Amino acid sequence: MSRFLVENLPIVDLKKISRIAYSDNRGYFSRIYCGNEIGLGDLFGKVVQINHSHTISAGTIRGMHYQNSPFAEAKIVTCIRGTIWDVAIDLRKNSPTFLQYHAEVLSEENKCALLIPKGFAHGFQALTDDCDLIYLHDEVFHEGSESGLHYQDTIFNIGWPLPVTEISTRDQTHLFITNEFQGV
């Protein structure tokens, strides 16, 4: 029996993964990831890195980050504490959903995750204080390949749900897309 429900989202290859929890009078148990059960095929390789982030204040934005080829990464992002508004932007030059974004609410309560495929930028806004996220990556972090897009770029016109309270200097200084941007 699978402990996951995998749904296609409006952007090609972007997936929502819902964990099925087993509850009793002690609480619940849910599996974060099982490659045999989720069945993502070529969209996600083997887990080679697992990261944990903690965001203190609601309104904080982290993003929009991605890694360039040959170190492009797919990731599965899940919120294990609090609630976030998770955003993925398709940057794949030959994709029918090129430069489109999709957002989902991820929370401890809904036990959902997003599969962010290779060629996507990713970021989120904390909707509550004290949010903890777990990221499963199929590629290791490679500093020379990291990049990002400005979270307020009008090409995407992301409607962040809360006023921005915190954002890193690095994320504030990511560039806006120009006509020369051909995708990744």
Quick: pLDDT tens for 28-59: 888 888 888 888 888 988 999 999 999 999 99
Q: What pLDDT is recorded for position 32?
A: 86
Select which of 65, 122, 137, 174 is catalytic. Answer: 65
Contacts of 26 (CB under 8 A, 6+ apart): none
What does the block give as tokens for 111?
């036990």
Q: Per-residue pLDDT averaged across 92-96, rounded?
A: 95
135 annotated active-site: yes
Predicted pLDDT at 2: 67
Could you give the 3-state DSSP secondary structure of residue 36?
helix
Q: Which CATH architecture has domain 4-172?
A: Sandwich (2.60)
Give residue 176's identity as a one-letter amino acid code. Answer: F
Write out the DSSP string of 66-82: EE-TTS---EEEEEEES
19-27: list long-range contacts, CB under 8 Å, 24+ apart. Answer: 19/78, 19/111, 19/112, 19/113, 20/111, 21/111
**Helix %, strand %, coil % of the chain (to 5):** 10, 40, 50
Mean pLDDT of the chain: 94
Whose tokens are 């989720």? That residue is 38
The rounded percent of the chain whose pLDDT value lies above 70 is 99
Residue with tokens 């992002």: 77
Pair 79, 131: CB distance under 8 Å: yes
Does residue 33 carry a catalytic annotation? no
pLDDT score recorded for residue 1: 58
What are the distances in angstroms from CA 107 to CA 1, 129, 132, 143, 178?
Answer: 24, 12, 9, 29, 34
Separation of alpha carbons 139 and 141, rounded Å: 7
Q: Which runs of E-coded beta strand occur in 32-127?
A: 49-55, 61-67, 75-81, 83-90, 101-107, 112-116, 120-126
pLDDT at 42: 83
